[in-house]
Amino acid sequence: MLTTDVAVIGGGVAGLVAAIEASKFGARVHLIDENARAGGQLFKQIHKFFGSHRHYAGIRGFEIGEKLLEEAQKNGVQTLLNSFVFGIFGKEIGIIENQTGARWLDAKTIILCCGASEKMIVFPGWTLPGVMGAGAAQTLINVHHVSPGKKFLMVGSGNVGLVVSYQMLQAGAEVVAVVEALPRIGGWGVHASKIRRWGVPILTSHTVKEAHGKERVEAATIVALDENWKHVSNSERTLEADVICLAVGLKPNVELPLMAGCETMFLEELGGRVPIHDENMETTEEGIYVVGDCAGIEEACTAIESGRLAGVAVAEKLGYLSKDEAYELKVQIRKILDDLRGGPFGEHRVRAKQQLIERAKILKGLKDE
Amino acid sequence: MRIMRHPILPPINRKEVNITVDGKLVSAIEGEPIASALIAAGIMTFRKTRIRKEPRGYFCGIGLCTDCMMIVDGTSNVRTCITPVREGMRIETQVGLLREDAGC
């Protein structure tokens, strides 16, 4: 059986950083990804990141992806691609490679970086071809240079809805409207302004009521909402559209953490059910860590730092770093995470993360007895 | 449709391959997901539901929802959004959920 010090499952930004960090201190690392290439959602991010140099400000997402892949390779991270993890049994990981036959990887520690999936809302006609996740449309356009339509209706004005709308425009499509159920725009002003300047209406207190079409979406009816989220009568409008994109939030992918026996908590602020983890990102199962969006929906910079934190923690657990060396690094990273979660947008997430950590302390304390 | 001009994305310069979709010849870019090749060719219906025969297509794009499953080279229930295209691939619209290989 294949053995390793650290198995990183999921090669998105958090997983790549965790793999790079752990390998930097000498650990043998295997990175497993079900896609033909690691990099996760980075390759569909074509906008420049902002923030600090440490977090690749001014660089476009796909370029960050290239950099991280290169660094992982340089550090000797073994990458298993087209490899689908079907189960975790203790520390044994079952993998199906290229859809044929199972193989096993026996790991001393596991870092789960399973990412997130898009939440969806249902309405008459939502199953018609042409209704899709905003992220799904973004992948088609930015990675494969294929547009699923000409006229888009975007449902949701969080950062995903706003950024993807702008990218539709860049790709030459029309965005007929962005509808937002809340009475205010959900995402950052900087993103909203970009599409407003292009003339795209952002309709707050509005949602999609129905998708029309026979074999695919041909039109969409939108409707105004009152303060109790009820449809306002006679406020319907039917817009010509061939794609309806749903950008109504993300939820952590917790299937593998659950299979591994990790305890979870429901925290709305972090997108739903989240694996309980301590200050080192370790779950209630010893030696199993969670990082990135599957440890709670945040954004790329916090994903990077949580990956780094888990990388240092496993290196310490495996004896590649002394307690003191690790402590110093971890304090630095936690400080950066606190800064990233600063400000009014981060408050709820800070509280939710603290709840997870408190719960982990209680559960782990009990387990030790 | 394919996006030929873009302010940021560098043009894709990859090998063209031919596949068949329900017997019709469709050109694709080697390595792109089957779903991408189909949508580029204007095909949006990938399968029909078992009882009502309603159309279904590309939805989540990450291999989770299974709405985009088709019969590929005789194997049913293949998630076309994460399965790369290869020269000569035979793609068929799937009706219902086929448990065994096509033909059952």
Task: Residue A154: give its domain's CATH number.
Answer: 3.50.50.60
- The pLDDT confidence band at residue A60, using thresholds 50, 70 and 90, is confident
Look at residue A115 in the predicted model and tell me its pLDDT: 95
- pLDDT for A98 beyond 60: yes
Which distant-in-sequence residues (6+ apart) come within 8 Å of A257 by Cβ?
Answer: A112, A114, A264, A275, A283, A288, A290, A294
Summarised one tens digit per residue, pLDDT across range A253-294 is: 999 999 999 999 999 999 999 999 999 999 999 999 999 999
Which of A126, A132, A166 is the best substitution to test chain B (most B C-beta atoms within 10 A)? A132
What average pLDDT does this structure show over A225-233? 97
Residues A185 and A273 both lie in one domain = no
Look at residue B99 in the predicted model and tell me its pLDDT: 67
Pick from A35, A171, A216: CB nearest B6: A171
Of A199, A217, A246, at which residue does a domain stop?
Answer: A246
How far apart, in Å, are the Cα atoms of A10 and each of A44, A113, A282, A296, B18? Answer: 16, 5, 16, 15, 32
Look at residue A5 in the predicted model and tell me its pLDDT: 98
Q: What sign for the dihedral angle of Cα A194, A197, A200, A206?
A: positive
- The pLDDT confidence band at residue A215, using thresholds 50, 70 and 90, is very high
Q: Which residues of A touch B64 (CB under 8 A)?
A: 117
Residues A11 and A106 both lie in one domain = yes
Pick from B9, B11, B61: CB nearest A136: B61
Q: Which residues of A touch B33 (CB under 8 A)?
A: 144
Residues A139 and A229 both lie in one domain = yes
- pLDDT for A99 beyond 90: no
**SS3 at position A244:** strand
**Residue B7 is assigned to a structural domain of this protein:** no
- The pLDDT confidence band at residue A175, using thresholds 50, 70 and 90, is very high
Of A246, A280, A305, at which residue does a domain stop?
Answer: A246
Q: Which residues of B touch A46 (CB under 8 A)?
A: 8-9
Q: Is A172 on the interface with B (CB under 8 A)?
A: yes
- pLDDT for B5 beyond 80: yes
Residues of B with CB under 8 A from a CB of A: 1-3, 5-9, 11-12, 29, 31-33, 35-36, 39-40, 44-46, 54-64, 67, 81-82, 84
Q: Which residues of B touch A133 (CB under 8 A)?
A: 59-61
Q: Structural domain of residue B60, as residue ranges?
A: 16-95
- The pLDDT confidence band at residue B104, using thresholds 50, 70 and 90, is very low
Residues A113 and A138 both lie in one domain = no
Q: Structural domain of residue A126, as residue ranges?
A: 120-246
- pLDDT for B6 beyond 60: yes
Of A246, A275, A308, at which residue does a domain stop?
Answer: A246
Pick from B2, B7, B58: CB nearest A132: B58
**Residue B44 is assigned to a structural domain of this protein:** yes
Look at residue A324 in the predicted model and tell me its pLDDT: 96
Residues A113 and A260 both lie in one domain = yes
Across-strand partners of A221? A210, A238
Look at residue A147 in the predicted model and tell me its pLDDT: 97
B47-55 LR contacts (CB < 8 Å, sep 24+) = B47/B93, B47/B94, B47/B95, B48/B93, B48/B94, B48/B95, B48/B96, B49/B96, B50/B95, B50/B96, B50/B97, B53/B95, B54/A127, B55/A128, B55/A129, B55/A215, B55/A216
- Which residue did the predictor score with more confidence, A221 or B102? A221
Q: Is A131 on the interface with B (CB under 8 A)?
A: yes
Look at residue A65 in the predicted model and tell me its pLDDT: 86
- pLDDT for A366 beyond 80: no
Range of weakest confidence among A7-21, A43-57, A221-235, B12-26:
A43-57
- pLDDT for A48 beyond 90: no
pTM of the model: 0.90
Closest alpha carbon within chain B to A40:
B62
Q: Is A215 on the interface with B (CB under 8 A)?
A: yes
Q: How far is A25 from chain B (nearest CA, A)?
A: 33
Query: Cα–chain-centroid distance for residue A157?
Result: 17
Closest alpha carbon within chain A to B7:
A170
Residues A151 and A236 both lie in one domain = yes
**Residue B104 is assigned to a structural domain of this protein:** no
Q: Is A118 on the interface with B (CB under 8 A)?
A: yes
* B12 contacts A60? CB cut-off 8 A: no
Tally of structural domains, chain A: 2
What average pLDDT does this structure show over A33-45? 85
- pLDDT for A369 beyond 50: no
What average pLDDT does this structure show over A191-213? 97
Closest alpha carbon within chain B to A173:
B3
Q: How far is A217 from chain B (nearest CA, A)?
A: 10
- The pLDDT confidence band at residue A367, using thresholds 50, 70 and 90, is low
Report how far residue A87's alpha carbon sits from residue A259's, in angstroms, rounded to the nearest whole number.
Answer: 7
* B82 contacts A35? CB cut-off 8 A: yes
* B54 contacts A117? CB cut-off 8 A: no
How far apart, in Å, are the Cα atoms of A36 and each of A39, A40, A163? Answer: 10, 10, 25
Summarised one tens digit per residue, pLDDT across range A301-344 is: 999 999 999 999 999 999 999 999 999 999 999 999 999 998 77
Tally of structural domains, chain B: 1
* A170 contacts B8? CB cut-off 8 A: yes
Pick from A36, A127, A141: CB nearest B54: A127
Q: Which residues of A touch B31 (CB under 8 A)?
A: 36
- pLDDT for A50 beyond 90: no
Q: Is A137 on the interface with B (CB under 8 A)?
A: yes
Report how far residue A154's alpha carbon sits from residue A67's, in angstroms, rounded to the nearest whole number.
Answer: 32
Mean pLDDT of chain A: 94
Summarised one tens digit per residue, pLDDT across range B48-86 is: 999 999 999 999 999 889 999 999 999 999 999 999 999
- pLDDT for B103 beyond 60: no
Pick from B3, B32, B46: CB nearest A171: B3
- pLDDT for B87 beyond 60: yes
- Contact between B54 and B48 (Cβ < 8 Å): yes
The CATH number that applies at residue B75 is: 3.10.20.440
Q: Is A133 on the interface with B (CB under 8 A)?
A: yes
Q: How far is B68 from chain A (nearest CA, A)?
A: 10
